[in-house]
Structure 1
Amino acid sequence: MAAITNPRVPFTNSVSGGMYPGRKMVVKGGIPPGSNGFSLDLVCGSDEIAFHFNPRFGEQRIVRNSLLSGNWGAEERSGGMPLIKGEPFEAQFECQEDCIRVELNGKHFCNYTHRTPYHKITHVKGDGDVLINQITFEGK
Structure 2
Amino acid sequence: MSMELELKNVALTAGEKLKVKGEILHDAERFQIDLGCDPEDLALHFNPRFHDDADGAVLVCNSKTGGCWGDEKREIDNPLQRGSDVKIVLKLSGDMFEVELPDGHEVQFPNRAGMDVITYIRITGDFKLTSLMGQQEARERRLQKEAKQQEHRLKGLQHQFQLLQMEARTSPVPDYTTSVPDPLEESGSDDRLPQVIHQPEVAQPVTALPYFSMDPRLEKVTK
Q: What TM-score bracket applies, with the shorter chain setting the length?
A: 0.7 to 0.9
Is 2:6 the partner of 1:9? no
Range 22-31 or range 118-127, more displaced: 118-127
Inter-CA distance 21–106: structure 2 relative to 1 (3 Å threshold): farther
Is 2:113 the partner of 1:116? yes
> Taking structure 2 as the reference length, what is the TM-score of the superposition?
0.55
Q: Which residue of 2 aligns with 1:3?
A: none
Q: Which has the higher contact order (CA 8 A, sep 6+)?
A: 1
CA distance in 1, matches of 2:19, 2:9: 12
Deviation, structure 1 residue 120: 4.8
Gaps of at least 5 residues in structure 1 are 1-7
Conserved? CA contact 2:91–2:98, under 8 Å: yes
> Taking structure 1 as the reference length, what is the TM-score of the superposition?
0.86
Range 53-62 or range 113-122, more displaced: 113-122
Deviation, structure 1 residue 46: 4.1
Task: Give the number of equivalent residue pairs.
Answer: 132
Secondary structure at the counterpart of residue 22 of structure 1: coil
Question: Structure 1 residue aligned with 2:14, among 16, 21, 24?
Answer: 21
Q: Which residue of 2 aligns with 1:42?
A: 35
1:22-60, CA deviations, whole angstroms, 9 ceiling, x for partnerless residues?
100000000011000101100213421110000110020
Q: Which residue of 2 aligns with 1:55?
A: 48
Q: Which amino acid aligns with 2:29?
A: N
CA distance in 1, matches of 2:18, 2:26: 25
Q: Which residue of 1 aligns with 2:182?
A: none
Conserved? CA contact 1:79–1:109, under 8 Å: no
Range 104-113 or range 68-77, more displaced: 104-113
Gaps of at least 5 residues in structure 2 are 140-223
Question: Structure 2 residue aligned with 1:136, among 133, 136, 147?
Answer: 133
Q: Computing the radius of gyration over CA atoms, which structure comes out larger, 1 or 2?
A: 2
Deviating above 2 A after TM superposition, structure 1's stretches of 4 or more consecutive aligned residues are 117-121
Conserved? CA contact 1:66–1:72, under 8 Å: yes
Q: Which residue of 2 aligns with 1:75?
A: 72
Conserved? CA contact 2:13–2:117, under 8 Å: no
Percent of residue pairs bearing the same amino acid type: 29
Bigger helix share = 2
CA distance in 2, matches of 1:82, 1:14: 30
CA distance in 1, matches of 2:9, 2:17: 11
Question: Structure 1 residue aligned with 2:26, among 20, 26, 33?
Answer: 33
CA RMSD of aligned residues (A): 1.8
